[in-house]
Structure 1
Amino acid sequence: MGKLIWLMGPSGSGKDSLLAELRQQEPAQLLVAHRYITRAANAGNEN
């Protein structure tokens, strides 16, 4: 059975860099779910 890992952290903490590295090392074994942003678009943060 596979493993489910939640990758969370503040903006700029390296989440995308970590995912990019994992995709290079184990592309066939890694499935990344699409990100969904649930806050309002005008909340003053990046989307």
Structure 2
Amino acid sequence: HGDHVMAVNDLKPQNVEEAYFFISRSTRKEVKLTVCRIPHSDTFHVKGCSC
């Protein structure tokens, strides 16, 4: 979609697999994602998105 995950819970993943690993191993109720948006790219949506 043109979005780049820069960090997961303030940890910088080296690749997509590591980002998924950080999310799956999190013990927090919520996960913080830092995303870099490429100008004029498609909007990132998830299932149940309210935007």
Indicate the TM-score class for this superposition, using the shorter chain for normalisation: 0.3 to 0.5
Task: Give the number of the structure whose residues are more often strand, by fraction.
Answer: 2
- How high is the TM-score relative to the length of structure 1? 0.37
The answer to which structure, 1 or 2, has the higher relative contact order (CA under 8 A, 6+ apart) is 2
Structure whose alpha-carbon radius of gyration is higher: 1
Task: Give the number of the structure whose residues are more often helix, by fraction.
Answer: 1
